[in-house]
Amino acid sequence: ARGLASQIGLELGEGHWQVIKFLREDYKEQGETPMLRRVANMSGVSTKELFLLFPKKPAKKMAYIAGVPKPHGCV
């Protein structure tokens, strides 16, 4: 994840890892990548924080770094 994050100019901190762990666990349990709203509601990281941690396209960037497919409906 660190290598992928550095490729897109992000340095991973505690908040990033919280989201990455949630995405990986939820994907494993549900069989699909959670949408941004589910991540915000269930990970303990607000939508506003997600946009600060993963600027511009948070859903796509989070999935990329976590190594899961981008969510359905994500362009």
Q: CA-CA distance, 56 to 58, in Å (whole number)?
A: 6
Q: CA-CA distance, 49 to 55, in Å (whole number)?
A: 10
Tell me whether residue 41 is one of the annotated catalytic residues.
no
Which one is catalytic: 4, 8, 35, 74? 74
Find all residues with CB under 8 Å of 32, minimum gap 6, and list them: 69, 71, 72
Q: Which residues are catalytic?
A: 74
